[in-house]
Amino acid sequence: MRDWLLVYTLSGEGYFLTPGGKKQCGSGQLGLLRSGVPHEYGTVRGTYWNFLWVHYPGLPENAYLPEEDILIETLSEERIRDRIERSFRYVLQDSRERSVLWKPLCENAIREVLLLLAQRSKKRVDPRIEQTLGILSSRMKEEIRVDLLAREVGLSPSRLAHLFKAETGHTILQHVNQMRIRQAALLMKHSGRLASEAAMEVGFGNYNHFAEQFRKYYGVTPREYRNPSPTTG
């Protein structure tokens, strides 16, 4: 493959297999596959993989990045995740509409992603928090117990809670709720799930709690999000 490949995982988990080995890419992680690297990629067995991707030719910003066959970066800050997703969606929108100057617009959006990736790759996340984020992503639907999670990554519960908040800006519970809410929104928007079905599927046992958290995150109720009122003008 002559192009480079950028992949941003919204939820679930995928893998990349290159001559250098196998790497997995979970929710909130950004992957970059170098041009010309023999590879295979797909969904991790027993899971699903919901992701955004874009092929692009070489750009000058690639020079800022580590020379790895496949670079996987955890985006621990919500504002960076939102910014990356927005850039991907701009590329999709501009490439579909193909209006005047659509190619430079796509390139600018890709450049932003590459620069943010370069910025993050120089600011390393604590590997124990990276491991924690991977566990939370793969077990999003399960009940999360901080004591068991802490034992798995080799920290005390209090140390894990403190370090997680320092690295990500959120508590563990806040992070899990946000993952679940984003996945529920995708299920309602793209898979036709009812709000109550989506809540149960992502791990919320109490619908009222789900609706409250959803409204805080999106500013509308789950049902309003699923069935938006037509605008008039």
Whether pLDDT at 65 is above 70: yes
**Is 1's pLDDT higher than 70?**
no
Domain map of the chain by residue range? 4-121, 127-226
- Rg of the chain over Cα atoms, rounded to whole angstroms, equals 19
Structure confidence at residue 229 as a pLDDT band (50, 70, 90): low
Q: Which CATH architecture has domain 127-226?
A: Orthogonal Bundle (1.10)
The first and second tokens of residue 93, run together, are 């929108």
pLDDT at residue 61, as a whole number: 83
Question: Right CATH number for 4-121 from 1.10.760.10, 3.30.1330.60, 2.60.120.280, 3.40.50.300?
Answer: 2.60.120.280
Closest CA to 50 of 96, 4, 95, 8: 8
When comparing pLDDT for 185 and 25, which is higher? 25
